[in-house]
């Protein structure tokens, strides 16, 4: 079992805080925390609390509140594989429900749903004030992956269940992707992001590569030019 379990409530209005404090009263390993909204604020709060007694061989597992772990060995497998690897961040794979084949799919990069970091992440954060992730980061897992790139990995023998998104969720996700791509470019992470995109295309099959090999560069063109650039005029449907 983990030595400590940090639960950070960063603005939710349900009974999460009440439930967590109730568990913490009976289990000293559970440590309730609070932060202001945004995922990065919660991440920083957890790390700054945990780092006070973080030893060299410690690792930290992050998982989202709405997933279900693939089995009782998921966390131990992820921790073990992270410790024996040279990677700064290692992610688990996903099995989206409903699923026809019930086999987890290997994600392209570590996802905020479930990933594990080693202390090298803290060293990489030295370039930011107070060794903290910028509070406005939209996508903290990809920010960390690009920060450590190419020292990242995803494994299939540790996985989690998540509900398959509907069309509305998928649309919102695509808008969010455009926003965090633009943000990371503005933060000077374009070379790492370009390398990550190449890695994505190489990992896909030939049909997906042919299909998305045109869409991804178009998306990148859209968010790296000004609104008055010709790209916006030749792709009016995409601008919508």
Query: pLDDT at position 236, please?
Result: 43
List alpha helices for the chain, DSSP H: 16-26, 39-50, 74-84, 120-124, 140-148, 167-186, 190-203, 206-223, 230-234, 236-239
Query: What is the 3-state composition of the chain as percent helix, strand, coil, each rounded to the nearest 5?
Result: 50, 20, 35
Tokens of 194: 């370009």
pTM over 0.85: no
Q: Are strands 152-163 and 89-97 parallel, antiparallel or unpaired?
A: parallel
Query: pLDDT at position 12, please?
Result: 84
Q: Cα–Cα distance between 150 and 16 in angstroms, integer? A: 36
Q: How far apart are the first and last CA of the chain?
A: 49
What pLDDT, in 10s, does the model give residues 103-139?
A: 888 887 888 899 999 888 888 888 888 788 888 888 8
What pLDDT, in 10s, does the model give residues 64-97?
A: 877 899 999 999 999 999 999 889 999 999 998 8
For the chain, what is the mean pLDDT? 81
Q: pLDDT tier at 23 (50, 70, 90 boundaries)? A: very high
């Amino acid at each position: 079992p983990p030595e400590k379990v940090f639960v950070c409530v960063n603005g939710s209005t349900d009974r999460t805080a009440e439930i967590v404090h109730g568990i913490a009263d009976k289990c000293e390993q559970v440590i309730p925390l609070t932060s202001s909204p945004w995922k990065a604020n919660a991440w920083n709060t957890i790390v700054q609390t945990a780092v006070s007694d973080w030893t060299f061989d410690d690792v930290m597992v992050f998982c989202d509140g709405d997933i279900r772990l693939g089995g009782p060995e998921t966390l131990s497998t992820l921790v073990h594989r992270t410790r024996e690897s040279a990677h700064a961040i290692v992610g688990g794979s996903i099995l989206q429900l409903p699923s026809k084949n019930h086999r987890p799919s290997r994600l392209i990069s570590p996802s905020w749903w479930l990933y594990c970091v080693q202390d090298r992440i803290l060293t990489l954060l030295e370039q930011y004030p107070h060794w903290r992730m910028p509070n406005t980061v939209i996508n903290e897992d990809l920010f960390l992956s690009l920060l450590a790139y190419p020292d990242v990995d995803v494994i299939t023998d540790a996985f989690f269940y998540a509900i398959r998104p509907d069309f509305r969720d998928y649309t919102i996700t695509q808008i969010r992707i455009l926003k965090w791509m633009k943000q990371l470019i503005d933060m000077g992470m374009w070379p790492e992001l370009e390398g990550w995109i190449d890695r994505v295309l190489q990992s896909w099959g030939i049909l997906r590569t042919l299909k998305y090999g045109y869409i991804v560069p178009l998306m990148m063109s859209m968010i790296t030019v000004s609104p008055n650039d010709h790209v916006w005029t030749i792709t009016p449907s995409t601008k919508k």
